């Protein structure tokens, strides 16, 4: 018995050590970025991680560099990510309601076909999406960035799995009380799906804040760049001023951190319940 307890303790200790090493490997690059953003340009290439004097003015200087519209790009990224998140959550919830709560011929087959689109790489879909944007006159526009990302097979799958676990007796009780399908969706199913909605909101917002390829292809006007594209222009125009580049990169993660902090209590619950087969 003692041998078993010792063996179990040793395994747990080993597991904790491995997890600590993995966590440290993820934290170190972020730590270096923060510390580099507080150095002078000459100090960035030195072996010492800590700056001699913390250069807090680097964060202010990022907004004042001539030819760099950092504040505008920052707003563009948040604006586009917020709209994509709202539309994707709304369309995914509608589709998942149809796939999980309504009965219609070919429902499961259509759902499998919808899931099949997840196997297509994003780069493959970029050319037809770009042709559609040309056809609708949405090149170099915010709707061109937002609309192609407003629908998500992953979001539909996540929310459908969650909705499948909501008792069907609620539907029957609502129908007996005279509720329409829209009232069933809006007043009953959607509020009960809050953990899945929060989970999808976090994933979608974080993913779209960092998206780069589609804005790089679509946007032509400098004042409409999103932050990832703007940081590229920042780097080239400033001649590899790494300290200012790191300050800009550090500020770019603030919206994602805030969204995660405010919504994290629902994240694990949404993932766990959404992964249960209905």
User: What confidence score (pLDDT) does residue 268 get?
Assistant: 61
Average pLDDT over residues 29-52: 87
Q: Is pLDDT of 168 > 80?
A: yes
pLDDT band at 87 (very low <50, low <70, confident <90, very high): very high
User: What confidence score (pLDDT) does residue 244 get?
Assistant: 86
Question: Between 135 and 232, where is the model more confident?
Answer: 135
pLDDT band at 76 (very low <50, low <70, confident <90, very high): very high
Local structure of residue 56 (DSSP, 8 states): T
The phi-psi region of residue 225 (left if phi > 0; otherwise alpha if psi is between -120 and 50; otherwise beta) is beta
Q: Please tell me the distance from the alpha carbon of residue 37 to that of residue 63, in angstroms, as a whole number.
A: 14
Here the contacts of 61-67 (C-beta below 8 Å, separation 24 or greater) are: 61/244, 61/247, 62/234, 62/244, 62/247, 62/248, 62/251, 65/234, 65/237, 65/238, 65/244, 67/237
Average pLDDT over residues 215-234: 86
Question: Residues for the chain: how many in total?
Answer: 278
Q: Which residue has the tokens 């050319």?
A: 127
Q: Is pLDDT of 56 > 70?
A: yes
Query: pLDDT of 114-156, one tens digit each?
Result: 888 888 887 888 889 999 999 999 999 999 999 999 999 999 9
User: What confidence score (pLDDT) does residue 45 get?
Assistant: 78
Local structure of residue 187 (DSSP, 8 states): I
Three-class DSSP category at 76: helix
Q: Are 174 and 111 within 8 A, CB to CB?
A: no
Q: Using only C-alpha atoms, what is the Rg of the chain?
A: 24
Q: Is pLDDT of 269 > 70?
A: no
Query: pLDDT of 169-193, one tens digit each?
Result: 888 888 888 888 999 999 999 988 8
Q: Please tell me the distance from the alpha carbon of residue 215 to that of residue 233, in angstroms, as a whole number.
A: 13
The phi-psi region of residue 90 (left if phi > 0; otherwise alpha if psi is between -120 and 50; otherwise beta) is alpha
Average pLDDT over residues 159-163: 90
Average of per-residue pLDDT values in the chain: 85
Token pair of 93 as six digits = 């919830």
pLDDT band at 277 (very low <50, low <70, confident <90, very high): very low
Most confident listed range (81-95, 207-221, 246-260): 81-95
User: What confidence score (pLDDT) does residue 170 get?
Assistant: 87
User: What confidence score (pLDDT) does residue 49 get?
Assistant: 81
For 55, other C-beta atoms within 10 Å of its C-beta total 18
Average pLDDT over residues 77-93: 95
Q: Which helix (H) or strand (E) holds 234?
A: helix 227-237
Give the rounded percent of residues in the chain with a pLDDT score beyond 70: 91
User: What confidence score (pLDDT) does residue 276 get?
Assistant: 46
């Amino acid at each position: 018995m003692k041998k078993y307890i010792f063996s179990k303790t040793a395994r747990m200790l080993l597991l904790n050590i491995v997890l600590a090493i993995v966590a440290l490997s993820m934290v170190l690059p972020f730590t270096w970025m923060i510390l580099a953003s507080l150095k002078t340009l000459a100090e960035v290439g030195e072996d010492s991680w800590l700056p001699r004097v913390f250069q807090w003015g680097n964060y202010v200087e990022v907004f004042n560099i001539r030819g760099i519209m950092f504040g505008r790009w920052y707003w563009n990224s948040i604006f586009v990510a917020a709209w994509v998140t709202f539309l994707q959550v709304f369309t995914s919830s509608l589709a998942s309601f149809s796939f999980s709560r309504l009965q219609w011929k070919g429902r499961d087959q259509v759902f499998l076909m919808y899931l099949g689109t997840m196997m297509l790489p994003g780069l493959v879909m970029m050319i037809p999406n770009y042709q559609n944007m040309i056809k609708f006159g949405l090149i170099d526009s915010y709707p061109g960035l937002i609309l192609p990302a407003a629908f998500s097979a992953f979001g539909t799958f996540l929310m459908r799995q969650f909705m499948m676990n909501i008792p069907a007796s609620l539907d029957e009780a609502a129908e007996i009380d005279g509720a329409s399908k829209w009232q069933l969706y809006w007043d009953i199913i959607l509020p009960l799906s809050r953990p899945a909605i929060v989970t999808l909101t976090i994933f979608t917002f974080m993913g779209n804040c960092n998206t780069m390829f589609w804005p790089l292809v679509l946007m032509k006007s400098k004042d409409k760049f999103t932050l990832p594209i703007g940081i590229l222009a920042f780097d080239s125009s400033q001649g590899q001023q790494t300290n200012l580049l790191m300050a800009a990169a550090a500020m770019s993660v603030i919206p994602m951190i805030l969204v995660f902090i405010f919504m994290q209590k629902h994240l694990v619950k949404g993932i766990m319940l959404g992964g249960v087969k209905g």
